[in-house]
Every structure is written in C-alpha cells, then in structure tokens.
Chain A
Amino acid sequence: MDGCLGAEVVVSGREIAWFLMRVVLLFCLLQLSWPLLGRWYEAAFRGVTSMVFESDDADREVTFRPHDSRAGDTRVEIVNRKLMASDGSGPVRHMDFGVRSLGWNPTTLFCALVLATPMAWGRRWRALAVGATGLQVLVLGVLAMSLWLESSFVGLVDLSPTSQGRMGTLKQALVDATRLAAPVLLWVVVIYRRPEGSGEGSVVRTLSRSRAKRR
C-alpha cells in the first residue's frame, strides 16, 4: 500500500484517505457557503465578465444580464448590428451559463484541495492566491471562446458549419476540463516544490509533511 519517493518519503493509504476526507469536508463547507460567499463571487464574476466582454460598438453589441433559467443564471445577448432592421428587429444570439457551475464549483474544489494540504500557512495563502487567479483566467478564457463561437451564429465571426461543430466539441471539452481537471492540475502545480539540494520534487513530500513533523 505504501509508495515512496527516493528512500526518504513514504505516504500511506491512510494518509491519502485522511487528506481526501479533509478535501471532501472543506468542499462541502464551501459549497454550503454559496448563499453567502457564492453570491459575492457571483456579483464579482458578473462585474469582471461585463467589464472584459461587454461591447457596444458599430458592429456588435454584447451584454450580460442576470437570468433565471435551467441552463444558468446569466444570459449573454450577442447582436450583429449590421443584421438588424431599422425597427430593431433581427437575429439575436443568446448564451446562458451558470456562474456556480462554471466558476464557483471549480474554485471551491481548488480551495478545498489547497486548504486540505498540510503545509505552512504562508505557502498555502500564496498557493490559493496564485492558483485561484489562474483558475479565473482559465474560466474567462473558456468563456471568451464560447462567446467567439456563439458570435459565429450571427455572422460576427466567419466559421463554416463543420468548423462550428468542431469548435463546439472543443468548447465542451474545455468546459468539462475546467470543472474538474483544471482545479486538480493547478493544485498539483502550486503545491509541488522541488526540495532544496535535491533533484526530486514531490506532491507527496507536501502531503507527508505532517508525518515528517511527528518523526
């Protein structure tokens, strides 16, 4: 059951189980904090997305607004002004997404992983700040790609139906990756540290830190 890094660090199944228990507990607590912390996150996320992506120029109009539907709590409206008639009628592209599923859930998972990792608080806060910022940038990148793809349906971006299909699949893959793979991979990167004077680095070394202290 035990794994080892060189001859020095050994991590047991019990330590992994204990770490995962802490992750689950913290994740549940953070999820339950949605009515309080989540609402704050939702407002901040909407503010940033509006600032970054909203536009109102001669060609296009992109607006974000709160929306209550099964597909999500935010609706993006994309308009190609050149296709609009003088009476204001014309094709409008809607894209609904949920701030909770797109941003909050992966962020809480990442925070739970970092907070459950036994390491010094200074390093933990740095890891949280760097990783959570990286995750938000990634989420905004996925959102940017979604907007770009949706813009192609009202002639703002020139894409063939085949390319639209391929990009749609890629977008879905990225959205799926953002939910689980991104927080886990970012956690691996931020907590991994090569020990001084050694050619080896370890996630395990960090996970085993508490036991090393006991020795």
Chain B
Amino acid sequence: MWRWLVAVVDRKRGALVFVGKFIVAMAALWLVAMSGPYAWVRSELTRANAEICGWLLGATGLELEVRDGTILSPTFALTVIPGCSGLEIWVFLVAAILAFPSSLREKLLGVGGSLVAILALNIVRITSLFLVGQYRPQYFDTAHLGLWPAALNVSALLILGGWLAWTGALGRRLS
C-alpha cells in the first residue's frame, strides 16, 4: 500500500507541485480578501457595477434609476451585492496564472487582462439579468442561479486557455 502510494505521488509529482502552488496562491489571495481594504474595494466595485449597468440599460431607453447599488425600474429592481462582483472567479484565475511557469511580464499581463475580462463579463451578466427580470421574470432564478454561474465557470476556463495559448505556458514543465 505504502509503495503504491509513493509510486503514485512520484508519477504525479509535477501535477501535485502545481496544485500545491495553486493552493498557496489562492490561500494568500483569500487572506487579502479578508482584509478591510479589500472589502472597501469590493463594495466600491459593486456600486460601480450597478452604476455602469444602469447607464447601459438607460441608454437602451429603459426608464430606471440607480440607488445604493440597486437598479430600479417601475416593474423590477435588482440589487447588486458584493458577492456579485465576479472577483471570486478572478481569484481562481490569478492563482492559476501565478502557479503556471511563466515570466513576470506574462503573469502581470495575465492578471491584468483577466481582471478586465471578468469585470466586462460581470457587467454583461448583471445587465442581462436585469433584462430577464424585467421582461421574463419567470426565468430570472434559472438565469441567475443556473445559467450564469455555469457560464462564468466556462468563461474562466476560456480566459485561462487564452492566456495559456498566448504564453505557451501549458507546454512548460509544471515543476
């Protein structure tokens, strides 16, 4: 049993080192996420998300207003809470980018590019959810709790795949 375990660990060493680096990076990012300044950033980002989505929706001719992170129309209201910032997905991407063998420049561009992509995607998400709630409220829960979480996960993989293709990091040794 012990020999078998040692053989498996030896065969999977590269992957296990990568997973270890990923977990350390993610834990460090979560420690930052528990800090006060991060809570402030997330709260401001949430407010900004609501403002931008309100502006975009207003530009389509919808009658609405944005108040304290809530987008209000005469028939529907959507409150953007800190958990809707998309930063949790970004933390996954940052941990993966930091764990993959790549240059500092590639890492920095990956971290910055993925942040922009996730923020943009989140604005599309909130805007689309408001439109679903406004015109097809019966599908709101399906879109909010079913479709979008899955779509965000797939998008994170696509962003990571894009970064790997760009850097060629996937072809390097994991350890």
A residues near B (Cβ < 8 Å) are: 1-5, 9-13, 16-17, 19-20, 23-24, 27, 31, 70, 98, 100-101, 105, 109, 166, 169, 173, 176-177, 179-181, 184-185, 188-189, 192-194, 200-204, 207
Contacts and interface: CB of A to CB of B under 8 A. Distances in A.
Interface stretch (B50-58, B73-81, B108-116, B145-153): B145-153
Interface of B: 10-16, 18-19, 22-23, 26, 30, 33-34, 88-89, 91-92, 95-96, 141, 145-146, 149-150, 153-154, 156-158, 161, 164-174
A31 B142 CA distance: 12
Contact of B168 (A2, A17, A177, A189): A2
B34 A169 contact: yes
Task: Identify whether the interface residues of B are mostly helix, strand, loop, or mixed.
Answer: helix
Sorted from nearest, which 9 A-B pairs have the closest CB atoms? A3-B171, A3-B168, A192-B15, A13-B165, A201-B14, A16-B165, A4-B171, A20-B161, A176-B88
17 contacts: A2-B168, A3-B169, A3-B170, A16-B170, A17-B161, A20-B158, A70-B141, A98-B145, A169-B33, A176-B92, A181-B92, A189-B15, A192-B12, A194-B10, A194-B11, A201-B12, A202-B174
Contact of B92 (A20, A180, A189, A202): A180
Given A24-B154, A177-B26, A5 B14 contact: no
B145 A194 contact: no
B157 A184 contact: yes
Nearest to A72: B145
Nearest to B18: A188
Contact of B170 (A17, A176, A189, A203): A203
A105 B149 contact: yes
B89 to A, nearest CB: 7
Given A20-B157, A23-B157, A27-B154, A10 B149 contact: no
B161 A201 contact: no
B15 A179 contact: no
A203 B26 CA distance: 21
Contacts of B22: 181, 185
Contacts of A70: 141, 145
A169 B10 CA distance: 34
Contact of A203 (B145, B150, B161, B174): B174
Given A185-B22, A192-B12, A2 B154 contact: no
B168 A4 contact: yes
Given A173-B30, A185-B19, A105 B150 contact: yes
B166 A13 contact: yes
Contact of A101 (B23, B95, B145, B156): B145
